[in-house]
Amino acid sequence: MKFAFFDVKPYDKASFDKFNGKSGLEFKYFESHLTEDTVDLAKDCTGVCVFVNDTVNKTVIDRLYKMGVKMIALRCAGYNNVDIKNCYGKLHVFHVPAYSPYAVAEHAMAMLLTSIRRIHKAYIRTRDFNFSLNNLTGFDLHGKTAGIIGTGKIGKVFINICKGFGMRVIAYDKFPSPDCGAEYVPLEKLFAESDIISLHCPLTEETKHIINSDSISKMKKGVVIVNTSRGALINAEDLLQGIKERKIGAACLDVYEEEADVFFQDFSGHIVSDDVLARLISMPNVIVTSHQAFLTEEALNNIAETTVSNILDFNKNGWCENELCYRCGSIEKCKKDRQQKCF
């Protein structure tokens, strides 16, 4: 089985190479994103392996199907970039539902601590032998209220981390989990009471721009917003306006709605054409990391192992537990209840 890997970076290749050429698998690596312009690179392949910023729309899906491609293996948990509905009856789609919730949750806390304790600023100062403490005053997390939107695996880990700091934790999720370890509250109450808001929910039609001018107006003055989930959960222009109006005290962003043409690439020495991103980065109370939260050795190994397992299980048994399906119109419910291949 030959698979075309798109948007490949050196760390991807290192984690997947140990499976290349084994168990009947052959991997072709491409640095380019999967798009309507690059889809023909998958010619003569059994499947494609894609990441978060690859474009898997109806045009790409139809082209892959006509070329005889049978599988789409996502090496990530999110699938908002894949038109699952149009894959039905054509291509089987697998994802990696959990690779390391600790990696993402710990990165969220690392960004939060860096921001509120001004660690990034202190690092830059001391490199120039400036040991002044002026303008480095932060605040304690102990006793503060953390509002967690999304209480899946990553959200639960982040809740436990916050509780370890002595924080009060409240949460919102459309599908509450009885063992999340936090008090569930309505979304408006979470906005009103949280000192820190951390996003850990998937991107859906309902959650797109869940952070916008209206929700920001309901938040505490000085609130810190952390996003390690999907960029489009936040309306970036509204976030920028909230920062300029001093309503938002800080923002820690590992993701960005228009990141596809920017993140994972070196633009040092170049002019970034995205004005909103450029203005966000220029703000002294904004930290941006380029979709780095997942990037640990443990997570990369788990991603590779699960992705390969999904392919081999489907090839051997005709189905795998991590297949995504649109047969019943409810992707997650179908995945849990089906216990057989999608079509």
Report the greatest alpha carbon distance in the chain: 65
Specify the pLDDT at position 56: 97
CATH 3.40.50.720 boundaries in the chain: 2-99+297-338, 101-288
Pairing of strands 92-94, 323-324: antiparallel
Residues of the chain with pLDDT under 70: 328-330, 332-340
230 is catalytic: yes
Catalytic site residue from 291, 298, 305, 323: 291
Which of these is catalytic: 92, 107, 257, 259?
Answer: 259
Thinking of the domain 101-288, which architecture would CATH place it in? 3-Layer(aba) Sandwich (3.40)
pLDDT attached to residue 331: 72
- Predicted local distance difference test score (pLDDT) of residue 261: 86
From 33, 230, 257, 323, active-site residue: 230
What CATH code would you report for 2-99+297-338?
3.40.50.720
Q: What pLDDT digit, counting tens, does each position of 31-63 carry?
A: 999 999 999 999 999 999 999 999 999 999 999
C-alpha span between 254 and 87 (Å, rounded)? 29
The tokens describing 246, both together, are 């001093």
CA distance 15 to 5: 13
Active site residue 246: no
H/E stretch holding 313: helix 297-317
pLDDT at 342: 72
